[in-house]
Structure 1
Amino acid sequence: MATANTPLDFVLNGLMERYRERVPHVKAITSAMVEEGIIADAADIENDHIAFRTMGVPQLGIQSFEKIFLHYGYTKRDAYHFTEKKLNAFWYAPPEPHYPRIFVSELRVNDLSAEAQKIIRSYTDEVVSDPVDSLNLNDGQAVDKFLHSALWRTPTLEDYKTLSAESEYAAWVIYNRYYLNHFTISVHNLPKGYNNVAQFNSFLEQHGFPLNDSGGKIKQSPDGGLLQSATVAGKVEATFSGGEKTMIPGSYVEFAERRVLPEFAHLPKEAVKREHRREGFEAGNADKIFESTYSTQTEREQ
């Protein structure tokens, strides 16, 4: 990651530092890439995007969270809707090409059962005003601390399990809050033999990393321009209210291949830049990648 010269650099570095600590796959994949000679060190990895999950309730959700990155010069782009999972999302384009895109989703809490809504609001109602409004967004350290601080009290294991039975997304957020959900390795700029998702998936599986197979291990946009895959989230030990402990899904690593747009197909490889490749996201791909933290995927590791 870049040196923390600006508040945005400080925030991104802080997010990635804690994410690497909590997600063993990050260091393991990076180490395997170095050993294979794909990269010289972690700094050679291009971060396609990072993603966050939120609760769609007053004072929180996308409308609150996005203020942080809009302040840092990000531009709000396309909206996405996930009917079955009851989610909305937007992506945000960075102020400069070397920064990652940002993908923020929120749970449509009002679409859940009365019981699930009651549980969620028993926690989120503790947030009585938009917490971002009281942050000094020019203080990177303060923002970094906020993104890794509790928004509400620690949930009970019983509430977590009740939510999980209806919405595994809801359960993930009630415990993890704004914890970084995933970062994404851009594979298209890697050396030949590893620079598409199919090849990179083979490399990952040879090294024993379990891949999300919901909808197939490769998720491809209808236009063929965006291909994605992801690891299955590893389990982390969670301590719930009252001291109860259990293993729950943590975060995961994603991989993206953005193909060169047809109108730029004539460009030599060394001339291809980010703006020449397929931009944005694809709801069909994202819908399946969300499941990297779902039991249908995480229980396959057991």
Structure 2
Amino acid sequence: MSNENISTIEALVVATLGKDIARQTLNMLTINPALLAESGNSVSRAAFAMAMNVCLFHDLLVRVPSGDAYVADTLARGGTVLFDHGALRAIRFPEGPTGALPGGEDAFTRIFLPLGFEMAALYPLERLRMTGRAYRHVDYPEAIPQFFLSELHVDRFDAEFGEAAARVFGTSRDPLDDAAKAVLARYAAGETVSLADAMAVLPTILSAFDRQHEPPAFDDYQLLLSRSNEAAWIATEGNAFNHATDRVANVAALADRLKAEDRPMKEKLEISATGRVRQTAFRADSVERPFADGELRMVPGSFYEFISRDIDPATGRLDLAFDTGNATGIFAMTSAKEAK
């Protein structure tokens, strides 16, 4: 079958994940028909963005068995997943880059902005000493998953924390090569990209969603953990998807059902100040990660989240906002005390 006979998104995902895994993952997701209608030998920014998100969703399920089991159950019930958003965490030093990696959110805005995302809102996470930002796609705001990108401000902690953070995160490399940067520059200039070029660079761009620094010393990890669960999480997981979120009709009813099934549910439902956005999640799955001493240790990994969004009466459209209180509550799913 030629690439002209299948959707651009499928062609990109197949080239990245392989035919069987790609089609299995695509079949899990509800994707806007307009996005799937694109085909041929050029790739729009929207198609590239959606293919990237499909691959990131697959990566999340590989790392999060509880989420994978939930999705399998959803499919068995005849349903699919409406992928609402994914979340990332980054480190912001007081000045300069993070090792060879651009500092904080800059490591990802250089990807998001060329692909058609714009910053939709800023969410101060003061209790966590972080700042969250929502990035929403200009062309398909309701159909392409948003990104909730948060950065942790090292300068809001004490000097000892700052020294440990420098030792851990200062070893970061830049995963983007010249070819990936060139494709992003063409998208930023408003051009389309050939399917061959898009296929070639998608794995490189996906590699940005990973740990870029060396395994941390355990003492440094413990020091970061004593001040910030989020910093400790980034020390082992890096910039991997922190969670992927399923947009469902009634998150409260779903949470009750999942609790009755003894799934690893968050106890409390998070409800936004407007009442229109309601969220809950599984607790993070534990994962085995290497440390600088060569030892493997169990730490909190990523998790799977659920959200319901109502119509905003002021606009008549789906309320795509986030909420500072909701985000702070959801972040607790990866705290070390939540790990088993």
Do structure 1's residue 51 and structure 2's residue 87 form an aligned pair?
Answer: yes
Give the letter for the 2:87 counterpart: A
Matches within 5 A, 1:207-286: 207-213=261-267, 217-262=268-313, 276-286=317-327
- What does residue 83 of structure 1 align with? 126
- CA deviation profile, 1:185-214 (whole Å, cap 9, x unmatched): 0012xxxxxxx111010121122212223x
Does the 8 Å contact 1:8/1:140 carry over to 2? no
Q: Which runs of at least 4 in structure 1 moved beyond 6 Å after TM superposition?
A: none
Q: How many Å separate the matches in 2 of 1:292 and 1:12?
A: 22
Q: Which residue is equivalent to 1:62?
A: 105
CA contact (8 A) 2:311 2:317 kept: yes
Q: Which residue of 1 aligns with 2:36?
A: none
- Secondary structure, aligned partner of 2:219: helix
Mapped contact 2:281–2:330 kept (Cα < 8 A): yes
After TM superposition, give the deviation of residue 152 of structure 1 in Å.
Answer: 1.9
Return closer, same or farther for 1:133/1:83 CA change in 2, 3 Å cut-off: farther
The answer to whether the 8 Å contact 1:212/1:297 transfers is: no
The CA deviation at 1:76 is 0.8
CA shift, 1:296, in A, is 3.8
Confirm or deny that 1:292 pairs with 2:333: yes
1:180 aligned onto 2:225: no
Equivalent residue, structure 1, for 2:26 = none
- Give CA deviations for 1:52-96 in whole Å, capped at 9, x if unaligned: 000012322012322211110001111111112100010011231
Q: Matched residues in 1 for 2:252 and 2:51: separation?
A: 34
Structure 1 residue 31 displacement after superposition: 1.9
Pick from 154, 164, 171: which aligns with 2:225? 164
Report the AA paired with residue 31 of structure 1: A
> What SS does the aligned partner of 2:113 have?
helix
Change (3 A) 1:220 1:7: same
Structure 2: stretches of 5+ with no match in the other structure: 1-8, 13-42, 98-102, 185-197
User: Does structure 1 retain, via aligned residues, the 8 Å contact 2:299–2:336?
Assistant: no
Taking only aligned residues, the RMSD between alpha carbons, in angstroms, comes to: 2.2
Percent identical residues: 27
Counterpart of 1:250, as a letter, is: G
Q: 2:206 aligns with which of 134, 144, 151?
A: 144
**Deviation by residue 1:236-269 (Cα, 9 ceiling, x = unmatched):** 11111121111100001111110122358xxxxx
Q: Go from structure 1 to structure 2 and tell me whether the alpha carbon gap of 1:127 and 1:198 turns closer, same or farther (over 3 Å shift).
A: closer
What is the DSSP-based 3-state SS (H/G/I as helix, E as strand, rest coil) of the residue aligned with 1:242?
coil
The answer (yes or no) to whether the contact 2:284–2:334 under 8 Å persists in 1 is yes
Say if 1:162 and 1:263 are closer, same or farther in 2 by CA, change over 3 A: closer
Number of residue pairs matched by the alignment:
272
Question: Aligned equivalents of 1:198 and 1:21: distance in 2?
Answer: 26
